[in-house]
Structure 1
Amino acid sequence: MRTLLNVIWLVLCGFWMALGYFAAGIICFVLIITIPFGVAAWRIGVFALWPFGKKVVQKPTAGAASAIGNVIWIIVAGIWLAIGHLTTGIALCLTIIGIPLGIANFKLIPVSLTPLGREIVSADDPRNASVGF
C-alpha cells in the first residue's frame, strides 16, 4: 500500500514539492553561509518525493543553534514551502482518492517550517516506535 501511495504522491504533488525544496537548497548553497539550510532543504526534498513509510523525529542533540536557524529558515523559505503544502493539501482533499495525500501534505507543514534539528527515519524501525511526529 505504501508503494502505491508513494507513486500516486510522486505524480500528483511530490515531484513539484521536491522541486521547491531543491530550488531553496540551491539558493542556500549559492549564498555559502546558508549551506546548512541547503543540506536540510535537500534532505526534506528527498523526503517529500517518497514520504510514506518514513517519519520525522526530533534529534535529541539539537540545541539553540537549530532553534535560531529555524527562525531564519521560516523567514527565508519555510513560510513559502508551508504555503505550498497547504494549498496542495487542500486541492488534494477535494477528491476522495486524494484525502490521504492531502493529510500527508498537512503533516509535512511543521517540517517545512522547522527542518533543522529533525531527522528522517524509517517508520518500521522499532527503535523509533515511541518517538515521532
Structure 2
Amino acid sequence: RPERLDLARAWGVAQGFLADDREAASAMRDLTEGRGVDVVILTVWTRATLDLALRSVRDGGTLLLFGAKPDAAFPVDGWELWRREINLVSSYSATPDLFPRALAILRRSRYTLETTVSHVFSLEDGAKAFEIAHQGLASKVVIACE
C-alpha cells in the first residue's frame, strides 16, 4: 500500500517497494550488488508478495512468514527452496521477553503510531469499518467507543 510505504520512508527506511512493482526484485538485487536481500519479512501473504519475496531473497537468505490468513496456500517449488538454501521461519508474535523491547522501540518519538490509522469509525458504523478493512482499503482502522 502506497501510504504504508510513505510511512516507512518517514520512519527512516532507505528503500521500499510495492508488491506489484515489476522492477522491485531487480532493484533490490541492484542495491545488493546482485546478491538479493538477507531477510524478507512477509507481513502480508499473497501470491504476489510471496513471489516477490522469493525473487528478492538471496541464496541462503531467510524468508520470515509473519502475516497469514486461515487456509493460506504456500505454492512454492520445494526444489527451489532446497537448492537455494532459503531458510523459512514462521512467527505468530513476539515472545513475552521481547514484548517490552518492542514497546520501547515503538515509544520512540520518531514512531508516531497515530499516523498508521487511516480510518476512524463510531461503534454504530462498526460493520462498515470491518468491511473496509476486509477489502484492504485501509491501513489501520479504529472503532471509537464513546
Q: Does TM-score exceed 0.5, indicating one fold?
A: no
Query: Normalized against structure 1, the TM-score is what?
Result: 0.32
Structure richer in helix, relative to its length? 1
Higher normalized contact order (CA 8 Å, seq sep 6+, divided by chain length): 1
Structure richer in strand, relative to its length? 2
Q: State which structure, 1 or 2, has the greater radius of gyration over its C-alpha atoms.
A: 2
Query: Normalized against structure 2, the TM-score is what?
Result: 0.30
